[in-house]
Structure 1
Amino acid sequence: NPCQTDADCISRVDDSAFQCSEGSCQKNPAYWEPSSFSRHPVTLVSAATASYFHGLKNLAASARFWAPNHKMVIYNLGGLSSGMKSEIKSWSNVISLEWEDGVPNFYPDHVKRGKIYAWKPILVNETLHKYGSIFYMDA
C-alpha cells in the first residue's frame, strides 16, 4: 500500500479493498481527537462471532479509512477460529482482542447467547474502565 499511515487511497488498482495505486493518496482529517470534554483519545470498539467476521473485517477497514489515528479493541463473542483471531491481531489499527476464547465462563449462560445482547453492557462497561473513552460499533 503506497499510502502513508495518515492517508488513504482515493482510487484503487482494482476492486479489492484498500489496494492503492501510486499517487492516489489523500490526507484524512483528524476526527475524534481529544478535546475539552474528554481526556482520553476515543478507542473504537466492536465485537463479533464467526458468522459476523466478514462484517467485522469490513468495519475495521472502514475505521482505518475514516479514523486512521484511532485504535480498535475487538471482542470475541465466540466461535472465532484461530485463523480469524490471528488475522484480527494483524490488523494495524487493532490494539487488543479481548475475550480471546469467547465470553468468559464466569458470566451466566444467558450472556453467551448472542441475540439476547446481555454481553453488550458488560463489554461497554469493561472497555470504558480500561480505555476511558470509547465509541462502540456493531460489526
Structure 2
Amino acid sequence: MGSKKKFFEPITGTNINRAIDLCKSTPEKLKKFQEDIRYLDSNQLFQKQFIHQLLVIVNDLEELNQLLLIMAKPKDIYYSSLRTALAWINNISNALIITGYYLDPENKYKRLLNKHSFGFEINLILKKVDSVKQILERISKGDPVNRRIH
C-alpha cells in the first residue's frame, strides 16, 4: 500500500485572487521604481512622484496583509501556511514608509538615500512577496503544506 497525498478543499474566491494579483503586481511596481531612480543622484530623489510611487506600493502591501488576515481562520487547515505568510508580509512596508518620509521635499529633515541599503531592502521585500505568492498559489490548489518554499 502506497501513501496517497490527500488534497483538501482549496480556498477560492475574490480574496485569494486579489491577494495573488497583489503578489504579482507589487514586484513589477518595485522594479519600475528602481528603474526610475537608477540614474539619479540621491539629492535628486526629493520629489513627490517618488513618494507617490512608494505609497502606492505600501497600500498594496497593506491590502495584501489585510486579505491574509481575513483568510487566516484558526481552525482552518491552511492556518499554519497563512500564518507563515502573515509573518513574512507583516511589516515589510515599513522600509518603504520610512524612505518615503525622508524623501518628502517639504520635510524639514531630509536624509539622502543609500541606494545600496535600499536595494537590499527591496530584494528582501521581493523575496518575501514571492514566497507569499507561492503559499497562496498552493492553498488555492488545495495543498496546505508550505515545504520547499524559499
Bucket of the pairwise TM-score, normalised by the shorter protein: under 0.3
TM-score, length-normalised on structure 1? 0.26
Max Rg structure: 2
Q: If each structure's helix is expressed as a fraction of its own residues, which one has the higher value? A: 2
Looking at both structures, which has the greater relative contact order when contacts are Cα pairs under 8 Å and sequence separation is at least 6?
2
TM-score, length-normalised on structure 2? 0.25
